[in-house]
Amino acid sequence: MNLGLDASLTHDLHRDDPDRFWCLVPTAPGQRQAAAALLALNQELGRIPGQVTQPMAGFIRLEWWREAIAEARAGQPRRHPVAEALPLIQAAGLDDAALVAMVDARERELDERPVADLGELLAHVRATAGLLQENLAVIAGGDRERARRIGTGYGLVGILRATGHLARHGQIMLPDDLLRQHGVGRDALLAGKPGPGLAEVAAVVALAARDELRSLRPVRGEPATPLLLITRHQLRMLDRLDHDPFAAAAIGRPPLLALRLLVLQGLRV
């Protein structure tokens, strides 16, 4: 599918974040470059925790992006493919405070403290995956709160699906109180041997994701709609897998997603 986008912004996105790449399909052609730049920025920020071995190095990289946002606004973007695209986002009507908020939210992923409870996890996901979709709604139009809810639901399921990957890299994003309540030791989870209680924890997080999506329906021309369809499918598959997060890593997108989106768009891209 040719969306007429700059490959420097979309190559890694298509490879590493294909679900969100689909958010570009319903976006109007004149807004796609700015939307792609925003998704690419999110991808750059999300990579940082996995690229550093010490939190301070991550904080320095996040500060680099805060400065890049300010310099782009001043007409002097830094020499980096995504930093050079920041003016596209700014020209599309997204203010710098919203971009800086995306940077600030990533600091929690550099913090070695456990996620205390479901409330803290929800707050973090709303400030990352949720805010990203809200900012896309600012660029492309649409209901910002609805977009944030969809992004949050998707982000919660994403954390479940990434549980095994994160554990292999020494990171746990699931609520510590739920792990203790269901007898899941952190050392056992990091070793990939968490026991049956992990499914109970995952079921609670999945329910929170369902609550975010409750009563929402696909909307034509909305960047978040592909994630709504994808998240609902992934939640159904989680049920079939008895909420095993380790098995959930292999869950893909729903069958015929492209056709459903094209029909919803009136067969135009």
What total of structural domains would you count in the chain? 1
Give the pLDDT of residue 259. 79
Instruction: Note the pLDDT tens digit of each residue in 214-260.
Output: 999 999 889 999 999 999 999 999 999 999 999 999 998 888 787 78
The pLDDT, as a whole number, for residue 212 is 98
At residue 267, the pLDDT reads 46
pLDDT-derived band of residue 266, with 50, 70 and 90 as boundaries?
low
Domain annotation covers residue 197: yes
Give per-residue pLDDT as tens, 43-89. 999 999 989 989 999 999 999 999 999 999 999 999 999 999 999 99
Express as a percent the part of the chain with pLDDT over 70: 96
Model pLDDT, residue 58: 96
CATH code where residue 129 lies: 1.10.600.10
- Domain-located, residue 4: no
The answer to whether residue 10 scores a pLDDT higher than 90 is no
Instruction: Please indicate, yes or no, if residue 2 is contained in any of the structural domains.
Output: no
Q: Is residue 211 part of a domain?
A: yes
Q: Is residue 1's pLDDT more than 60? A: no
Mean pLDDT on 152-181: 96
The residue assigned the tokens 């994701």 is 209
Q: What pLDDT band is residue 3 in, cutting at 50, 70 and 90?
A: low
pLDDT digits (tens, 9 = 90+) for 113-130: 999 999 999 999 999 999
Mean pLDDT of the chain, nearest integer = 92
How far is the C-alpha of 73 from the C-alpha of 158, rounded, in Å?
Answer: 32
Residue 32 lies in a domain: yes
Which residues span the domain enclosing 99? 9-264
Residue 268 has pLDDT above 80, yes or no: no
Residue 83 lies in a domain: yes
pLDDT digits (tens, 9 = 90+) for 177-219: 999 999 999 999 999 999 999 999 999 999 999 999 999 999 9
Q: Measure Cα distances from 143 to 136, 148, 198, 269 in Å.
A: 10, 9, 35, 21
Total-model pTM:
0.93
pLDDT score of 142: 84
Query: Is 250 part of a structural domain of the chain?
Result: yes
CA dist 211 and 102 (Å) reads 23
Residue 269 domain-assigned (yes or no): no
Mean local confidence (pLDDT), 130-143: 94
Q: Please say if the pLDDT value at position 262 is more than 80.
A: no
